[in-house]
Amino acid sequence: MKNNTNVFLFLGLFGISLNAEVLFFSKAYELALENAHSIKASVYQVQGTKERIIQEESRLYPQINLSGYYKKSENSYYDAGRENLKQGLFNYGISVKQSVYNAEIYSRIDIETSKNKLYNIGLELEKEELAQTVFKAYLEVLKNNNKIKLYETYLKYSQSRLDELNKKYEMFMVSKMDLLEMQVEYKSAEIDLIKEKKILKVNMLRLKQLIGDTEYQLPTIESDKHLVDSINEMKVNVLNKNDFSMNLALLQSKLELKISNYEVKNASAGHYPKLDLEGSIYAYDTDNVDVQAPYKDTKSIMLVLNLPIYSGGSISSKVREKELTRQSVNEELLNTHKDIQVQYDEYIALFEASVASVSMYKDAYDSSLLYVDSVEQGYEHGLKSIIDLNDAKNKQYEVKYKYIENIYEMVDSYIGLLIVTNNFESIELLDKLVEQ
């Protein structure tokens, strides 16, 4: 009953509705995605890169143009006796140009197609970064709440000890120094509690900025078989899963290398010939049929071959530049693969250590519950004092605090492993760790 009362006080203190939905990990991430304007901006950028592909592909289609003009001219003769010749001339027609072979166009299409994929991966990386940010803020709030409960139990224990020392001091059973020392300890515990509540408000504000104004309740973590089963599922999901083929950073580096290859081809295209097919039909008309006019109409079709011979070495220099860039990108790819392996090894070590610690603290926490229960029975029968009871509860919360802290460390390393292996679908396993 006291635990429920504490929850109600906590929810009322921070203006959280009791009817609000419990904020699980997956829900926090979902709300953050909906509220992230930077993600929405990146979505538009991805859509914009699709238009660049269309723009490059359009160069493979016929380029059709309509044109026309009207010219009014007046010509004078050397013979001053002859009247000036005036004529109005209409010209209108249609021209068509079709690229037959242009290596530069093909390479540009490949480049823009790969860049679109690169932007898509960049978008997914932004989502991963957002997930890390929101989960960090979410875990900080849970940690603050956990620490507040620990400080509250310690303050209650300190209060009972202070009350006892006050009575003993009045009976000249303890010295003034002992009383003052306990008063300092109590005030220190009170300051720690106030400070942690202020930190909680700041962290809740930070979380609110990420997920929006949605009302929510914080979940709780209990020591039961359900939690143990969830941890076992997490272990199966991430241990011995060192396949990085879908890692977004690695995919990004591979695409950058692919784009570099296309850039080399695009630069080399300056050495290749270009072949275009051009055709046109133009009609002419005049407002003075007595005057000799141009042809009535003109039709033409031709193949245009452009063969580069010499450009001062600029094309060869550009090819060399792109090849050097490709080598640089390849080195970055190798470095990225090493970094990913290091990250995976670190997260695995942290995860395994956290799981082992959680198991030990779970046993300790279960024992502390039995200990508190036995002290409560002794207190009810007058065998234990209120100080003994508060001391037992304080020790129980110290164990629970460390137990939950290790769970949070395990969660943090698990999220890191999901990101490294790009297996974000398994984030819902975290929801099973907490309950309303």
Tell me if domain 21-61+102-272+308-433 and domain 62-101+274-307 are identical in fold: no
- List, for residues 124-151, the tens digit of each pLDDT value: 999 999 999 999 999 899 889 889 988 9
DSSP-derived secondary structure for 133-174: HHHHHHHHHHHHHHHHHHHHHHHHHHHHHHHHHHHHHHTTSS
CA atoms of 81 and 97, how far apart (whole Å): 48
Lowest mean pLDDT among 109-113, 246-250, 297-301, 311-315: 297-301
Which amino acid would we find at residue 9?
L
* 162-199 core/surface letters (b: 16 or more CB in 10 A; e: else): bebbeeebeeeebeeeebeebeeebeebeebbeebbeb
Over range 379-392, report the average pLDDT. 87
Q: What's this model's pTM, rounded to 2 decimal places? A: 0.80
Q: What does the DSSP assignment read for 17-72?
A: -TTSEE--HHHHHHHHHHH-HHHHHHHHHHHHHHHHHHHHHGGGS-EEEEEEEEEE
Give the residue from 302, 409, 434 showing the smallest Cα distance to 356: 409
Domains of the chain, by residue range, sit at 21-61+102-272+308-433, 62-101+274-307
Token readout for 335 is: 């470095």
213 pLDDT above the threshold of 80: yes
Give the residue-averaged pLDDT of 334-342.
Answer: 94
Per the model's pLDDT, the better-predicted residue between 429 and 78 turns out to be 429
| Range 391-413 average pLDDT | 88
Given a cut of 50, whether residue 429 has pLDDT beyond it is yes
Q: Average pLDDT of 46-71?
A: 94
Q: For residue 178, what pLDDT band results from cuts at 50, 70 and 90?
A: confident
Average confidence (pLDDT) over 244-269: 94
- Decide if 281 contacts 299 (C-beta within 8 A): yes
- Percentage of residues of the chain with pLDDT beyond 90: 50
- Topology of domain 62-101+274-307, CATH: Outer membrane efflux proteins (OEP) (2.20.200)
The reported pLDDT for the residue numbered 10 is 41
Are the beta carbons of 278 and 97 closer than 8 angstroms?
yes
Does residue 222 contact residue 191 with C-beta atoms inside 8 Å?
no
What kind and span of H or E run contains 242?
A: none
288/258: higher pLDDT: 258
Q: Which of 218-222, 328-332, 374-378, 389-393 has the lowest mean pLDDT?
A: 218-222
CA dist 191 and 142 (Å) reads: 20
- Would you state the CATH architecture of domain 21-61+102-272+308-433? Up-down Bundle (1.20)
